[in-house]
A and B are shown apart, each in its own frame.
Chain A
């Protein structure tokens, strides 16, 4: 058997008190595609960053083709033969230069390269690289004018120009359409045949089915499963990724009263299957699904940020067609978005200002704010949700992640909602805060329909009355949160029964 291209032994990495990698063992064989799966925060990106020299490991060792491998920085890793194509494609190309220059860029930085660019020589070399990779674009075109897929091909081709032993692709299809992804897979097949060891990070089941030779799964900083016997057991891999320890929280399941929100034959994308769904007063519905399952799209449509391809939405029987976020908020549809750092927190503001931001109008006389009223309302929510702070005048940045998230949730509980949308409300939140938030959401459900968008099964089991599974832009399963058949739930999430081929983009 050939020597492993890259072998990682007992890798450890901590950031402060946060132990991110707890002894990782991975081996990559030449001429094989290993898929790395893991939920957000499982430690995938940290592992990649250690391998590609961005972070130094705290413990453990790596060997590259049998020799010790300990890159001091990213350039060193590349020199030794480990090349990474990162998620955001534009990190890998220079948009304002043409294709030939991009392909040859790494030669230009070499010291042995003379002062002047030998234009004709450069183009000849670039043409050779492009031909070897099967790239068919005009070498004089500016990269910024190319499609995302072409740009990505060029980023990979640049990486391949160094004849690496190991190629790491970090969620390469996240911004590609289905046909574009097919081109990428063809390229990966060719590289595999050339004997490159490939580590492929992705959430998309359709990708994984297409190219994986083996799957390794990370969860909470450790390898939670390795799957290499054919046929690969995709469901077991998803189970290992999401985990579903029985939760200690007992949910008193409600079925709700009158329907508040109705989706009638709603198509999220052109060509995706229609969605029909009801959510009732007093009910908490969790929408679960992997990245790209369409649940973010549904949240955006309901919050007026995107338009559905077809179909209707009704709230309390009347048609609801929000044209903007303002419309949605005016109709009583509130959303706490995911990634609070980018989408929700106003870093310059204190707790009271952050919390009351959407409802300042009700807290003013004419245009003038009633600071006292603002403080009192914020103070009420602080005590209801158990937000740990000295006063509501504290800067939002002084709070822990869990408490910041509580403020962001409290923001939308200040006024009664018709429909409350919570997108990943437990992201970057410790277990205590997660319980507090869950309890409070469940305690206040009367008078509204609550939709929670989640990737993790545990969290859904903790908060929902009903769990609706999405895949490829459609609803593929529905489970009442009582004696849930976890195997069936996981099968729905991984798309086991689904024959959809991912035709939406």
Chain B
């Protein structure tokens, strides 16, 4: 009986907590429960959620990607540079960013599988490198239309309407102009990654690599290719996050996106606790991102000061990790 209770707590505890949170805020904070508020929460978590889904793929193969935040801000700066200074059309700017993300992921993967650099260190180095690199073309300045370039000319390009549409368009749902484009993309990517990791043989082999790399190699799995692929997925999703951020801000702001890395890693780790999975999974990651978003939105509406936000996120993360690692270890031999 006690075992079944524990099992139930591990499996549904986090979802029950989430529902409880929603009910509490709905009662305590007028205006919390409603489509506008929901759209706002989703909007606030969409970009970190997309990055978190990418890092989930690297966690699945037993790795880690610390460079996602830097990839996102690099994509932000690259799209601005491409459109504002080089005056490229939208499609070129987007393609450049996605290609940059894939390339960074590829280099990360090669550093890890060929040069045997530990994943945390390789991606930490890459993060550092990118943070520096994105400042070089503009001498450390933000990019906006009308800025003076080093050769004395003025940047005349602008973010195209099509590009801004990616970040700012709102679809009609229940209310006119409710659902922002980034949220739609977030949900789309979440479904894709969920299908990929959970229901394809590639996903299954990636989980096998994360659980016992040697055993996976000894059944003939191309372990290195899968690992590189995981980092490339992570790089591409991070660059999508960066594109959406640029499209929302409408300028290449050097200082934005500082919190992206920590927030998205936290969402992916909180995801371990959802449904008692005790391992990285796309559904958990999406719920984890949502959980943090709802908590912050509710607290803001109840007038909690903004500077308590990081503290709350940290507390949720620590609680979720205890939940995952302590409770699950007490439950013997789990399948999935």
Chain A residues near B (Cβ < 8 Å) = 303, 324-326, 328-330, 335, 337, 342-351, 353, 357-358, 360-361, 363-364, 367-369, 393-398, 411
Contacts and interface: CB of A to CB of B under 8 A. Distances in A.
Given A395-B334, A398-B333, A325 B220 contact: yes
B208 A346 contact: yes
Contacts of A342: 212, 214-215
Contacts of B208: 346, 349, 353, 357
Contact of A326 (B195, B222, B335): B222
Given A328-B220, A348-B210, A353-B204, A397 B215 contact: no
B330 interface: no
Contacts of B333: 394-398
B211 A349 contact: yes
| Interface size class, chain B | 20 to 34
A324 B216 CA distance: 13
Nearest to B201: A360
A371 B112 CA distance: 32
Given A345-B215, A353-B204, 10 more contacts: A326-B220, A335-B218, A342-B212, A344-B215, A346-B212, A348-B210, A357-B204, A363-B201, A395-B334, A411-B219
A367 B215 contact: no
A353 B208 CA distance: 9
A343 B213 CA distance: 9
B204 A358 contact: no
A389 to B, nearest CB: 10
B336 A349 contact: yes
Contacts, number: 90
B204 A325 contact: no
B178 to A, nearest CB: 33
Interface of B: 195, 199-202, 204-205, 207-208, 210-212, 214-222, 279, 332-336
A348 B215 contact: no
Contact of B215 (A343, A393, A398): A343
B335 A350 contact: yes
A328 B218 CA distance: 10
Q: Which residue among B202, B204, B215 has the maximum number of chain A CB atoms within 10 Å of its CB?
A: B215
Given A368-B200, A398-B332, A398-B333, A325 B218 contact: yes
Contact of A346 (B199, B201, B216): B216
A367 to B, nearest CB: 4
A394 B336 CA distance: 8
Nearest to B196: A367
Given A394-B335, A397-B334, A360 B205 contact: yes
Given A361-B201, A395-B335, A343 B218 contact: yes
A145 to B, nearest CB: 18
A104 B195 CA distance: 58
B218 A344 contact: yes
